Chain A
Amino acid sequence: MGVATVTSTTGEAGANTVKGAGGPAQLEVRGVTKAFPGCLANDDISFRIEPGEIHALLGENGAGKSTLVKIIYGVLQADEGELIWEGKPVTIASPHDAREMGIGLVFQHFSLFETMTVLENIALAMNDVRDMDALRKQVLEVEKTYGLPLDPDRHVYTLSVGERQRIEIVRCLLQNPKLLILDEPTSVLTPQEVEKLFETLRRLADEGCAILYISHKLHEVKALCQKATVLRGGKVVGGCDPREETAKSMAEMMIGQKLTAPDRGKSREFGDVRLAVSNLSLESDEQFGTDLKGINLEVRGGEIMGVAGVAGNGQNELFRALAGETEQQAAPDSIKIDGKSVAHFGPRRRRRLGATFVPEERNGHGAVPDMSLSENGFLTAFRRMALSARGLIREVPTKSFADNIIKTFDVRTTGSGAEAGSLSGGNLQKFIVGREILQDPGVLVISQPTWGVDAGAASAIHQALLDLAAKGTAVLVISQDLDEIYAICDSVVVMAEGKMSKPRPMADVSIEEIGLLMGGLHDLEGNATPANNTQLEGGRVGQA
């Protein structure tokens, strides 16, 4: 039922929607193969994008999407195969060449200078700039045409993430691209910002610009794209029209197997409050960080609470404050674990009380990449699992703890002696999550549990978190992925600009409301009548 039939993407499929069909494709990729030492990243990949087409490139992490994009953008050269641009075979030797030809790329991670203005950042990325005034005019014109409001003289560090992305897009549009590539563009946007971005992209496509859209958010692909090419293990495994598929059927094409939704069990009873944060305010340790302002939350035993929000709104600072990593101490009694004030405790004493933590960044934060899995198991668990005695490492229990994680959480590796850095993202994440869960924590704080993780590993991690909560642990999940929050959380809070909304049960909060809260409309929760009432009619906001 759900699985899509595999159709050739190199043929005329999808011509019904695309203006340029019949003529030469904007870009045709023919038999592209690229090998890295020990892995075939792209294996005979072929597909075509017509002018004016919005084409999705789907695939899990490691499916070869980034490699393919780098080849198209001239960062890498294919070992075999060719690129046909407007009907002619081309060699794209560098990103400079790619830009000259009319290929624009909006990176997932922005490359902007925080202390420079928007205009200066744009000028830096152009192939050659002679006249700043002329450039300013061009920028303003592009912004007007595509509905991308942005003050050219603002400094980047004052901008929101969505605004920063606009800089990247304006940069590309100034080059009059014929093909615009976007790599996971919405991972940092609120739902409302996503809708705005889609409007811009649709307008661009109407003008004949081809768009290659890379995402793993399938409902977005469904809403935006007319064609999709699905990659798995470096190969094209199929193509489809996303509008005729369901998110589930596309996900199954991506991972090549049936997807099972996490089993949430029966509606759970919640126990006592195990993690309590009251009026937590803390200045960020980082120069352009977000200060925490009066955070309140309570997570009960058995409850999974989600912290939603656009990246950079204080989530990292919240995580560090809870894990005890901050230089400054929080006010006394502002953080309690099982009723005990821990604000003045370091990470080790918090862990001794039964709290465990999984940071967002795996390499270098959650794990030491060039240490073995055994040593990485020891890293956070040596006290709780009694892996040391008299100041010495107990080799045997240390190894068997790591082996136990590997077995219980199905970590694919050569063994507990393998370096953490040699594992794929999903496997390392399973190891780290497993390491904390096997310590049988009373409180687990986990940041971006499935960031950059393949769908199979993600669903295993979700299930593990649900099982953990079912045993009475209080789980706090900090995530930018609303789908994830909807899939596993019992309640949700939203962070914006270092402030936090009141907790709401998952069952009676709509995605629109969360979106508004992500945009920083905390006033909605107050008693006062919100200023712009009209915005609210769609949602069911309010305790008014």
Chain B
Amino acid sequence: MTELEEARERYCADFERFKQKAARNGGGWTYPLRKTAISRFAEVGFPTTRDEEWKYTSVAPIVKVRFRRADPRPNGVVPRALAQTGAGELAKNRLVFVNGHYSERLSSVGSLPGGVKVESLAAALVNDPAAVEPYLARHASYQDHAFVALNTAFMEDGAFVHVPKGCVIDEPIHLLFVSTSNGEATVSYPRNLIVIDSDSQVKIVESYVEVGGRGYLTNGVTEVIAGENSVIDHCKLERENETAFHVATLQARLGRSSNFVSHSITLGGALIRNDVNVMLDGEGGDCTLNGLYLGTGERHIDNHTRIDHMKPHCVSRELYKGILDGKVKAVFNGKIVVGKDARKTDAKQTNRNLLLSEEATIDTKPQLEIFNNDVKCSHASTIGRLDENALFYLRSRGLGLETARALLTYAFASEVVNQIKIAPVRAGLDDLLTARLQKICQA
């Protein structure tokens, strides 16, 4: 039996143990869904580099580890440790999850308009199935993505956010995922469900940090359902431990005239795979997907995005930028599919990469599939090094070589950072980047 097959059987066997627990916890109605998902996983198994979608990313380092499902650890994290990650005080509304499990003690939610739900998904599965069931796993497909299938089978907790019609929430809602594995190989399956009804506006931040976590796996799925004329500002900050694995899918479905902005910031982790999929499923939808990935050492960072233009007059803008040092391997695959009904589509995709070392590599691949003639689509991808003329210019004014390099690298990143509208996130990221880049440029 190959390593992949052996791993597949291991996960399926683990599901047999897990299903009793899932039923016991009251979310028994999810069992058929979980069963379908694990059956699908049993059929497809883990991807190999022969799969087109995984051509440049081998999951072997993840597959060979025997991860144990993470238990809730109520006493593992104190607020002070959270504050030290710099992620603790981003927003007043904060749901904290320790190793994938909701921590009421660390969470706090301010006063929200009536009818707004910001709570643990585990609780919602038990107490509020009618609110969850119409959406859960209806968008993130577990049919052809092994990790989404596993998340769907094993999901226990995450955030459930529901904003009813016509609600504008100014304060960002921060979903903070903290890992504390302490060297033990554990896996958590964060599952977030964000349902924003028509005419509502919300800002959501997802952060992934660690407090003494090493060698763990985060396998997350976030589903966003944006109602008609809704406005959603989403930002994901991935700051996992440098020895950790992070595989996550963000799946959004946008209704008519809705506006969805999502930033994906990748700063940590040993092997990272992000899938961001957006379906523009109503006329006049507007979607912005931006990303920034910063890699050093021997890390592997894979960003896959897919935007489906399904209806007329939708706009999509995409800007992903990578800063790659050391022996980092990065992948960007950006797919845009324009359906036959999607006339007057306006889609623009850009991927830019800055290589700071000789050994860093990037595989960048734009994919446009267009089935309508009346559209405007463009893509660009570039790979480059720091501009020698600009370096000399700065140095000729007295800036040291390292400072000049750090400044130009920061400037490269700032095009993405400056587009983040959630001010505390932007400011926090600014500080993080400045410190990180100074370190990189000194080495």
Please indicate whether A and B come from the same complex rather than being unrelated chains. no
